[in-house]
Amino acid sequence: MAKWGMVIDLDTCTGCQACTTACAMENNRLPGENWQDVLFYHEGTYPNVKLMWFPRPCMHCENPSCVSVCPTKATYKDPDGGFVLMDYNKCIGCKYCQVACPYGVRFYVDEKAVVQPDIRGVFPSEAGRQWDPPYKGPQDDPSRGIGIQPHGVVSKCTFCYHKVSKAPKGVADLDEDIPELKEYVPACVRVCAPKARFFGDLDQPQSMVNKLIADKRGVRLKDETGNKPQVYYLSGGATASVPSLRSMNDSGQS
Amino acid sequence: MDILSTGLSRRRFLQASGTAGALGAVGLGGGALTTLREAEAQAATTPGETRITKNICHQCPARCGIDVYTTNGRVHAIYGTADHPISNGKLCPKGPLGTYILYDPDRFKGPMKRTNPNKGRNEDPGFVPISWEEALDTVAERLNTLRDQGESHRFALCYGRGWGASCAGLQGTFGSLYGSPNVAIGHSSMCSDGSIISKKALDGVGGYNAYDYANANMLLMFGVGFLEAFRPYNNNMQVWGYIRGVKVPKTRITAVDIHINTTLAGSDRALMIKPGTDGALALAIAHVILTEGLWERSFVGDFTDGVNRFKTGERVSPSLFEEKWVKGLVDWWNTELKDRTPAWAAEITDLYERDILATAREFGTTRPSIALFERGAHAHSNGVLNGMAIHALNALVGSLYAKGGLMSQMGPSYGPMPVDAKDFMDDYALNGPWKTQPRIDLKGHKDGYLLANNMLQELGPNSLAGNPYKLDTVMFYQTNPIWTAPNGQVWEEALKEVFVIDTSPFPGETAMFADLILPDHTYLERLQDAPTYPFQGWPMTQLRVPAIAPLYDTQYFGDTLIEIGKRIKGPMGDYYKALDNTENVIRHLAKGFATDPGDNGVNDFESWKEKGVWYKKPYIYRFVDGEFYTWDGQDYAILMTEEEVKESLFKTDSGKFELRSGWLESNADWIARKTGRDPRTLMFPHWEEPVHPGGGDLYMVTPKVAMHAEGRGANIPIAIATLQPVLGGRKTAYIEINPQTARARGIANGSRVRLSSDLGSIEGYCKYYEGCRPDTIVFPMEHGHWAMGRWAKDRLPGHCGEITVNQSDRITGQCSYYTTKVSIEAV
């Protein structure tokens, strides 16, 4: 049984947001409701200004606080792979998980559309789902939070379960540059042009993700929460870095 | 109730608690009520079979090969093609959005004609559907009538993003058979001709460069937007990941721009320069390279006795310097460079002297190094001079055609067209009255832009003024000048009195002034060839293969042109009947691969369709240790003669890289008359203060950003939501303003503001950004559409083109998009 993990190299991430849009395409995301977001920060005074960015998927924590608080066991940790998934058939939309998640990567689906007019009204669903765009992905598994959401639920990144779970058993790394593996790689990893993302099995010592975490000092975001993310960040501080409190407190910041 | 351990289903919970409505009502949007039917447990479904077709992304000029995934007749995914040399399986943020473009609900559904004779922003065109027969016959009748009257020059065909031989490539032949100097007029002057032509002045080639970034150890970028928009963006980022994360030694990068964007943020040195002064920085770098003896002697040459006499402020005798592959170095030094010190440049550019000096030393000592630039540096009245000064740096460090340097792009081995157009020229085509007519844009004309390649921005104003004449009919392919031209308001007036044909698949501002709509397929529906833009030098050409049958009653532009051609009287009609259709054209192009198969085995039409790309490595020219060589099949081993270098690499009169431009010198009288430049110095890269029209006190710079999907990004909701991440845009693209600039004008962070120039004003919301120069306003040029679709409509900020003065570089014809000065006030 694999424990899938992601490594994001902030030194080579170019902040292009291809991860965001590829995820949107693969997982039918609504505009502005990014399972995989890139957050931008800046600090300093002209002409010495530091612009930084931080790509943020669901951390698929080993000890996820969202799972602990879910009253219906709608969100759960899949022991085979370590995915944190949603079962829309069980979700009651109470949003406890949204509050409990330290990383802000859960979304209640019935929010007002960020971009108006609401695209859900342009492609309405006749099957009780949020919407029904002609370009929606063919995969649909509500018990794992895959496919277009029904109303009244919370949605989240699946680590592209519909791809990763079909990977050949025992593979240590899902590297998009290996032709026979590319279809099993999460969308955000597969498109990443500077190859700032790596995806592999944290339980296999020989995996590239483990090597990178060791050699390049991989860190987990907000490790003090004890959530133990399965997403690690590499940062030599050159291109982007983990946002500091200094930047968060700056006026005019989001 | 122990809800945690019951495994209570969502449906049962809702039934039991009666909270369905209450929970749903928490949501802010409409349709949030949860019904029991929706709450039925839903099982997983198994998708049908997925088919992958090859295509080329359409959202910027990079031409990334893409795999298009279609299941159950619906396109649902796009990924980079793994064995495509540009995309290598990767994508930029625009790439995945192709599905939204295909299924854009605002698309034109078929050919239409206008029923409302009045044209204007607030006039409903009253488009009604017509058949393709009627549409094509209408065009042909107009064209035949013009030709019969000897006025065929009054038909113009304008294009923007042309792709290949089966679309834009057909236009020139159409013009020479039909008889119009205005078929076709490209948009290159509104793109980046300033780069092409300033390089042409020095190296005689006149094209965008191909770059060997992966082997360079330093990149010096002027206004390039390398991590936002510079083609090929996707591959640039792949290269970035390599040269900044893998390569040893790590490539050093200095980026010059007017605000902190992701490129500057990721570089080793960010230089926030005063707009339009990039040339001064480049001249100072050249000064340091010479005074400190850092130039590449194997390319430039040396003093005959090896003693460096380039000393600040001191003239040098040309006879003491033996030039190798450059011409005019000492003349350049004596007339311009000797006084261009970093201290001087610091005053002009608003940069620190220490940073200029450090940049110059790093660039001069870190080989291979490349100086690259695009519109940020040259879209000013002094653009050609800025461009020449920057490109000259490549000569000083010996980067031309070197490993880790820059080169020219080779073309593909296409087969000949099915028939030769020369056999179908009638007397009118050969000797008709159109032959004596100037182009409507006065490109190549002494009263207009003698040295430019195109002047599309002049077409509207010139036709309106009747100078040199008024157009009768104008057709547009992949260009929307009412929106993209500076001061497009003039185009609105011009197109009111012209019969307008638009071929875009989508509504747009120019389409709203159209009399006929002949909609193209979108790119995922097309069979279309597309040779590469300059990439890595070696030849490559690609193919779009339709993923699905066209969704609507549309027709590929190339076929529209052929069908119009068939309806023109005389031998021209016979030519197009023989050409038949674009698939026939493409099949003939592919015959060239039979004798020159690609590295991936592509040798005919079918294998091209299967792979999506034909390419052939390596690039055949290389500069090594002072000499030029061609590839002999195994190595760069065949020494080139000076004549061969002149024919292929430096296409100047001297066959050298001319720091004293013979091309400009031979046109010195005209240039001096039109620009007021000194005829004794205008042939050298030199400093000239830019002219900033508009009447305001702040520079306005309006870059293309990473999410700017060409021609359509403004109407893609997901692109709107992520357009300008730096300022936390989400649904709003902000006008960047330095806080001190804003506070001095009483403008609050996030407030609504008005930007004004002599032409008018637009509005938008501003956001404080310390990464923006205090004398400069910055915002993406993507928004402000009023006729592009439901999401684009009236989205702020307004369109920069409406307050951008139509001013062009007299030499290159480059539209000076970034040179207008504006004022800003709170609304």
Which residues of chain B are within 8 Å of residue A44 when distances are taken between CB atoms?
770
Which residues of chain A are within 8 Å of residue B42 when distances are taken between CB atoms?
88-89, 140, 142-143, 150
Per-residue pLDDT band at A236 (split at 50, 70, 90): low
The yes/no answer on whether domain B112-191+420-615 falls in CATH 3.40.50.740 is yes
Q: Is B28's CB within 8 Å of A112's CB?
A: yes
Which residues of chain A are within 8 Å of residue B20 when distances are taken between CB atoms?
152
Closest-CA residue of chain A to B100: A135
Comparing CB atoms, the residue among B105, B721, B738 nearest residue A114 is B721
Rg (CA), chain A: 18
| Mean pLDDT, residues B516-533 taken together | 97
Q: Is A115's CB within 8 Å of B31's CB?
A: no
3-state secondary structure B474-523: EEEECCCHHHHCCCCHHHHHHHHCCEEEECCCCCCCCHHHCCEECCCCCH
Cβ neighbourhood burial of B543 (10 Å; 0-12, 13-18, 19+): buried
Q: How far is B213 from chain A (nearest CA, A)?
A: 14
Beta carbons within 8 Å of B384's beta carbon, 6+ residues apart: B194, B197, B198, B201, B378, B809, B811, B812, B814
Interface probe for B, chosen from A11, A41, A53, A115 (most Cβ of B below 10 Å), is: A115
Q: Is A193's CB within 8 Å of B75's CB?
A: no
State how far the Cα of B640 lies from the Cα of B255, in Å rounded to an integer.
35
Which residues of chain B are within 8 Å of residue A174 when distances are taken between CB atoms?
none
The H-or-E segment that residue B737 falls in is strand B735-737
Interface probe for B, chosen from A46, A53, A69, A241 (most Cβ of B below 10 Å), is: A46
For chain A, what is the mean pLDDT? 92
Q: What is the ipTM of this complex?
A: 0.94
Q: How many helices (H) and strands (E) does chain B have?
A: 29, 32
Which residues of chain A are within 8 Å of residue B770 when distances are taken between CB atoms?
42, 44-46, 49
Which residues of chain A are within 8 Å of residue B74 when distances are taken between CB atoms?
134-136, 138
Which residues of chain A are within 8 Å of residue B722 when distances are taken between CB atoms?
17, 20-21, 32, 34
Q: Is A18's CB within 8 Å of B93's CB?
A: yes
Per-residue pLDDT band at A249 (split at 50, 70, 90): very low
Contact B676, B737 (CB under 8 A): no
CA nearest to B754, candidates B815, B819, B700, B806:
B700
Per-residue pLDDT band at B41 (split at 50, 70, 90): low
Same fold, B112-191+420-615 and B698-826: no
Which residues of chain B are within 8 Å of residue A116 when distances are taken between CB atoms?
731
- The percentage of residues in chain A with a pLDDT greater than 90, rounded to a whole number, is 89
**Residue B327: strand pairing partners:** B658
pLDDT in tens, A152-211: 999 999 999 999 999 999 999 999 999 999 999 999 999 999 999 999 999 999 999 999
Query: Which CATH code fits B210-407+655-675?
Result: 3.40.228.10
B569 touches chain A (CB under 8 A): no
Straight-line distance from the first to the last Cα atom of chain A, in angstroms, rounded to the nearest whole number? 40
pLDDT at A252 over 50: no
- Please report the residues numbered 47 through 76 in chain B whose beta carbons come closer than 8 angstroms to any beta carbon of chain A: 47-48, 50, 71-72, 74-76
H helices present in A70-142, as ranges: 96-100, 119-122
pLDDT at B726: 87
Closest-CA residue of chain B to A114: B731
SS3 B583: helix
- Provide the CB-side half-sphere exposure for B30 (13 A, CA): 9
Rg (CA), chain B: 28
For chain B, what is the mean pLDDT? 94
pLDDT at B47 over 80: no
Domain ranges of chain A: 4-249
Domain ranges of chain B: 1-43, 112-191+420-615, 210-407+655-675, 698-826
CATH number (3.40.50.10490, 2.40.40.20, 1.10.1270.20, 2.40.10.10) of B698-826 reads: 2.40.40.20
User: How far, CA to CA in Å, does B14 sit from each of A129, B24, B36, B559?
Assistant: 17, 11, 8, 58
Tokens of B718: 């997901």
Per-residue pLDDT band at B42 (split at 50, 70, 90): confident
pLDDT at B794: 87
Count A/B contacts: CB-CB distance under 8 Å.
307
- The percentage of residues in chain B with a pLDDT greater than 70, rounded to a whole number, is 95
State how far the Cα of B315 lies from the Cα of B338, in Å rounded to an integer.
7
Tokens of B392: 């000259």
State how far the Cα of B405 lies from the Cα of B623, in Å rounded to an integer.
9
State how far the Cα of A185 lies from the Cα of A26, in Å rounded to an integer.
12
Comparing CB atoms, the residue among A12, A92, A253 nearest residue B244 is A12
* Helices B132-148 + B557-566 axis angle, to 10: 50
User: Residue B138 CA to chain centroid, in angstroms?
Assistant: 33
Q: How many helices (H) and strands (E) does chain A have?
A: 8, 9
pLDDT at B9 over 70: no
The amino acid at B641: T
Closest-CA residue of chain B to A150: B38
Q: How far is B823 from chain A (nearest CA, A)?
A: 21
| Mean pLDDT, residues B277-282 taken together | 98
| Mean pLDDT, residues B649-663 taken together | 98
Tokens of B672: 């001096």
Q: How far is A202 from chain B (nearest CA, A)?
A: 22
SS3 B547: coil
pLDDT at B639: 98
pLDDT at A1: 80
State how far the Cα of A16 lies from the Cα of B93, in Å rounded to an integer.
6
* A81: DSSP letter: B
Sequential DSSP letters for B51-110: EEEEEE--SSTT--EEEEEEETTEEEEEEE-TT-TTTTT-B-TTGGGHHHHHT-TT---S
Q: Is A51's CB within 8 Å of B31's CB?
A: no
pTM of the predicted structure, to 2 decimals: 0.94
Per-residue pLDDT band at B479 (split at 50, 70, 90): very high
- In this structure, the number of other CB atoms found within 10 A of the CB of residue B398 comes to 24
Q: How far is A62 from chain B (nearest CA, A)?
A: 20
State how far the Cα of B647 lies from the Cα of B645, in Å rounded to an integer.
5
The amino acid at B389: A
Cβ neighbourhood burial of B746 (10 Å; 0-12, 13-18, 19+): exposed
State how far the Cα of A107 lies from the Cα of A97, in Å rounded to an integer.
10
Reply yes or no: is the peptide bond before residue B61 cis, omega within 30 of 0: no
State how far the Cα of B181 lies from the Cα of A13, in Å rounded to an integer.
48
pLDDT at B138 over 60: yes
pLDDT at B789: 97
The amino acid at A14: T
- Please report the residues numbered 692 through 731 in chain B whose beta carbons come closer than 8 angstroms to any beta carbon of chain A: 706-707, 717-722, 725-728, 730-731
pLDDT in tens, B157-204: 999 999 999 999 999 999 999 999 999 999 999 999 999 999 999 999
More confident residue, B102 or B710: B102
pLDDT in tens, B336-347: 999 999 999 999
Contact B485, B185 (CB under 8 A): no
More confident residue, B798 or B35: B798
Q: Is B71's CB within 8 Å of A138's CB?
A: yes
The fold of the A4-249 domain, in CATH, is Alpha-Beta Plaits (3.30.70)
pLDDT at A245 over 80: no
User: Residue B535 CA to chain centroid, in angstroms?
Assistant: 14
Cβ neighbourhood burial of A111 (10 Å; 0-12, 13-18, 19+): middle
The pairing of beta strand B50-56 with beta strand A231-234 = unpaired
Which residues of chain B are within 8 Å of residue A117 when distances are taken between CB atoms?
790-791
